[in-house]
Structure 1
Amino acid sequence: MTDDLDRPRRRGLWHHPEFRRLWIGESVSQFGSTISQLALPLVAILIVHASTFEVGLLVTFQMAAFLVVGLPAGAWVDRMRFRAVLIVNDVLRAVALASVPVAHWLGVLSIGQLYAVALLTGVCTVFFDVAYQSYVPELVDREQLVDANAKLQASESVSQIGGPSAGGLLIQVLTAPYAVLLDAASFLWSASWVAAIRTRPPKAERRPDRNLRREIGEGLRFVLGNRLLRSIALCTGTSNLFGSIAAAVFYVLLARELRLSPGLIGLIESTSAIGGLAGSLVADRFARRVGQGPAIWISALAMAPFGFVAPFVQRDWTLALLAFAQGVMWLNVVIYNITQVSFRQGLCPPALLGRMNATMRFLVWGTMPVGGFLGGVLGETIGVRQTLFVVAVGGSLSFLPVFLSPLRRMRELPSYAATV
């Protein structure tokens, strides 16, 4: 007789109830987060009247947690039940974001509070993301990882399509601070669905000799000791550095220099995100056709030329060109992310998943607060458009680490299952 637990695996992830609960919760949360991604910078620009440098600092605070707690988070998460980590950090992010409309209603909202909210939600996101990427291999078989990550990425891409345009309209109707409240509600929705997951993997065994520094070192050695993971970390970290420089000035360009309405800004973001959805749908087939290794470096290279559109955009037909360019970039970003994240999850021993993911997050997202700060400084000193041109030049070189690695010729990437 076939075990009932094997049926979802045989019938695919559409019929996997535990994965479906995670998927539903995260999909709505992603939609809410796309609203905040637009609303928080616009709160700073339009409500608090922050300078370009202060907007750059907001990006810095959003990402600073990956430098501050990125490495120990992995060791701590590996000691906990991933499901509990997801629920707690969803609730904490909901409370932090809900404080923005409350403070605005009381007339006490300040840039300092926005920094505090950005930092707290950033810390929660570190723990959530590490546990999230580690939880997926607990729910599905390793041969289902690419399919699972593609479905999760598809939901994120759909959210990026609908979220910004809906967020832009909501910001116009409700004002930016109150639009943030919808993101807070979406985190509570996510927590409720994760809480409904019945699978309870055993808590990691408490080792009597456990040591935080040693456990962090094990994660670092696993990532830095593997040439393929090192090249992926260097490529992604470089791309994120320049991407966060752009994030510090991009909304300043659209909202302040071009004087676009929040609704139009949201529409541009939504249109460009269609590329991300397309990427999630073709990533698996693309990797099978060209090989897993080539899929990583080809997608990293293909996005490079389209970064040169933003520095020259005007309030005319070039806005449509900007949306198209961002769409092509997102298509390749998603193909890259699905392929390399699935490879990392499949390569890593289960006991090291949290630390591996935290180490990679530390290395590749730790560049983002630096980029946010540099973006604010460059935007104030050399100008917004000039900063975006620097981003285009630097970002076009980020593919080199994976291109110059053995990934260039590897159609099949190694996995942990093949070694045990």
Structure 2
Amino acid sequence: MRWGLLAHADFRRLWLADALSQFGDRINLLAVPLLAAITLRATAWQVSLLRVLETLAFLLLALQVGVWTDRMRKRRVLVLADLGRAVAFGSVPLAAVAGVLTMTHLCVVVAVAGVLSVFFDVAHRTYLPGLVDRDRLVEGNARLQANVSVAAVAAPSLSGWLVQLFGGAAAVGANAVSFLWSACWLRRIGAPDRVPVARARAPLRREIREGLRFVGRDPVLRANAAHSVCVSVCQQFQVTVAVLFLLREVHLSPGVIGLLQAGGLIGAVLGSVVARRLGDRFGAARVMWAAALLWGAGYLMIPLTAPGAAVTWYPIGNFLTGLSIVVLNVHQLSYRQGVTPEWLQGRVAATSTFLHFAPGPVGSRLAGVLASTAGLRGTLWLAGAGVAASALWLVCSPLRRMRRLPEAYEEERTGSHGT
């Protein structure tokens, strides 16, 4: 009981594989741009192109991938995606050693890895319900969210040291090894990799619409989707200008800025520990809308940051933000997995992924405009106000009148759709 699901051998293998993949993804966020800038002398436009290629597949393919993964063995998709990314990134140090590495090569690698990441993420979000009992989804998602949080903060530092000590190509090669190791852990999972129940295949558009319609019909999923879209835009305001704000208006050094980010890590790790307990104590429905409000409160503290003692507002706001995001994500994901029929899991997960990533470019573009008109601090105030107002989607939804979330669909309902 002390170890919970980590005592479950198959979940433990999934958890280890997920940790390795998360670190691999996060190492790339810094190692690839540094490799391009230092080794290949890339321009700012070329470096920004790499970032676009990393996320473009989520915008173009996420909904289609949801349909395809509903027809596939989920673990096989995860393993093949990891192996494909290992091969793609493994080609980078080999090309560097041979002296033939170019920006074109790096762009192709990033684009291919982006497509494979879409398959991995969608399959990963739908694999857990087939591995553990549904009453343990919250615990499982909390432990997987901890991987995301730790990797988000720890991996960039590790990536920076790898690049500094061994060079960018070697750091990308180490990342390739992490994906290969992840695939090995996934292969060791003993639970049968079930073949989805055969169903008459409809045209791709119709199957995509089924996922969108399912999210639109469920009032809780619909509120979560609306909240995700609005928050995604406002998050980009904060992500785009926060570092510039701390450098130019609070006059902090890069080292101190990095130290202040630890507040978010501590909050996120704590959130993964207490998410299930909060749901048991107060009810998951209440926890979801309360976490959304707390997220807004954390964002509203960040623009209060100023030189001197007022600098503490930043780590406090970051702590509350990290805590609330993880608690909210754990219960949102567990609810979605619990109420979605198995035959529709991939499409519903893909719909959520698409809605999260699609507004990002719009938010980034608006952030640049706002920073030049409202200023850096003003943009952060708008980000905080936007995230706080976005919580109304959940507060005004049926969640406000509920304590606990509805149970998963009845077995006969799931079975009737799957036959």
Q: TM-score range by the shorter chain?
A: 0.7 to 0.9
**In structure 2, how many angstroms separate the alpha carbons of the residues matched to 1:373 and 1:55?**
17
Question: Are residues 297 and 208 of structure 1, via their aligned partners in 2, closer, same or farther at CA, if it must alter by over 3 Å?
Answer: closer
The amino acid across from 2:178 in the alignment is S
Bigger relative contact order (CA 8 A; separation at least 6): 1
Structure 2 residue 59 is matched with structure 1 residue 81? no
What does residue 283 of structure 2 align with? 291
Structure 2 residue 185 is matched with structure 1 residue 193? yes
Match for 1:343 among 318, 335, 350? 335
Structure 2 residue 393 is matched with structure 1 residue 398? no
Unmatched tracts of structure 1, length 5 or more: 1-7
In terms of mean alpha carbon deviation, does 272-281 or 180-189 score higher?
180-189
Structure 2 residue 8 is matched with structure 1 residue 16? yes
**In structure 1, how many angstroms separate the alpha carbons of the residues matched to 2:90 and 2:164?**
19
Question: Are residues 188 and 253 of structure 1, via their aligned partners in 2, closer, same or farther at CA, if it must alter by over 3 Å?
Answer: farther
RMSD: 3.4
Does the 8 Å contact 1:161/1:274 carry over to 2? Answer: no
Does the 8 Å contact 1:246/1:391 carry over to 2? Answer: yes
The Cα shift of 1:417 comes to: 4.1
Question: Are residues 320 and 161 of structure 1, via their aligned partners in 2, closer, same or farther at CA, if it must alter by over 3 Å?
Answer: farther
The Cα shift of 1:91 comes to: 2.3
What does residue 242 of structure 1 align with? 234
The amino acid across from 1:392 in the alignment is G
SS at 2:18's partner residue? helix
Q: How does 1:2-401 map to 2 (within 5 A)?
A: 12-40=4-32, 51=44, 59-98=51-90, 106=99, 110=103, 116-174=108-166, 178-250=170-242, 260-261=253-254, 266-308=258-300, 310=302, 321-375=313-367, 386-401=378-393
The amino acid across from 1:224 in the alignment is G
In terms of mean alpha carbon deviation, does 144-153 or 196-205 score higher?
196-205
Does the 8 Å contact 1:56/1:373 carry over to 2? Answer: no
Does the 8 Å contact 1:59/1:369 carry over to 2? Answer: no
Deviation readout 1:112-138 (Å, 9 max, x if unpaired): 766655543332222111111111001
Does the 8 Å contact 2:90/2:176 carry over to 1? Answer: yes
Does the 8 Å contact 2:301/2:316 carry over to 1? Answer: no
The amino acid across from 2:188 in the alignment is A
The Cα shift of 1:405 comes to: 0.5
Does the 8 Å contact 1:78/1:355 carry over to 2? Answer: yes
Does the 8 Å contact 1:244/1:368 carry over to 2? Answer: yes
Q: TM-score, normalised by structure 2?
A: 0.84
SS at 2:390's partner residue? coil
**In structure 2, how many angstroms separate the alpha carbons of the residues matched to 1:321 and 1:50?**
36
Aligned pairs, number = 408
The Cα shift of 1:294 comes to: 1.4
Identity %: 39
What does residue 4 of structure 1 align with? none
Unmatched tracts of structure 2, length 5 or more: 413-419
**In structure 2, how many angstroms separate the alpha carbons of the residues matched to 1:391 and 1:108?**
40
Does the 8 Å contact 1:303/1:329 carry over to 2? Answer: yes
What does residue 407 of structure 2 align with? 415
Does the 8 Å contact 2:304/2:313 carry over to 1? Answer: no
**In structure 2, how many angstroms separate the alpha carbons of the residues matched to 1:158 and 1:220?**
32
The Cα shift of 1:203 comes to: 1.4
SS at 2:389's partner residue? coil
Deviation readout 1:374-407 (Å, 9 max, x if unpaired): 4456567876555444323322222111111011
**In structure 2, how many angstroms separate the alpha carbons of the residues matched to 1:56 and 1:315?**
31
**In structure 2, how many angstroms separate the alpha carbons of the residues matched to 1:245 and 1:95?**
35
